[in-house]
Structure 1
Amino acid sequence: MAKAKKIKKKVTRQHPNQLNLKIVTSTTCQVCKQQCKRGLQYMEKMSQPGAIGYGVPCILTRDKK
């Protein structure tokens, strides 16, 4: 007899109040009215010649799902 495969549920959040942060680029950080420490550090890093960036999580655009 063949055994049935168990289907595991995918855990999307570890906590019910976990926040989802949007990833923003340095151009978004530049025009932001409330520039945060993380955004300022990222803008400084991206101002260097040859810098490659993938964005930073923005605490100001958080979304509670």
Structure 2
Amino acid sequence: MAKGKAVKKQKTRSDRKQAVLKLVLSDTCAVCKTPCARGMRYLDHMRQPGAAGNGVPCILTKTYV
């Protein structure tokens, strides 16, 4: 082995950080200070009569686990 050569340890899948986004409802998107395309599309969808939704992932609430 050559002197001074370090071997990099490969990260396994379980060692990587995973992003988690909170689900927000249309009322949260309506008052958001920095509206995103996904939130505005969901807000428009929810304004239709009889629309039912479960929320949309908000990019502004990203945390890493």
Normalising by structure 1, report the TM-score: 0.74
* Number of aligned residues: 53
Percent of matched pairs sharing the same residue: 53
**In 2, Cα distance between equivalents of 1:37 and 1:63:** 20
**Superposed displacement of residue 14, structure 1:** 6.1
Answer with 1 or 2: which has the greater Rg.
2
* Unmatched 5+ stretches in structure 2: 1-12
Aligned CA distance change for structure 1 residues 64 and 30 (closer, same or farther; 3 Å): same
In structure 2, how many angstroms separate the alpha carbons of the residues matched to 1:35 and 1:46? 15
Secondary structure of the 2:59 match is strand
Q: Which runs of 4+ in 1 moved over 6 A?
A: none
5+ residue gaps, structure 1: 1-12
State the superposition RMSD in angstroms: 1.7
Which moved further from structure 2: 41-50 or 15-24?
15-24
1:1-40 map, 5 Å: 16-40=16-40
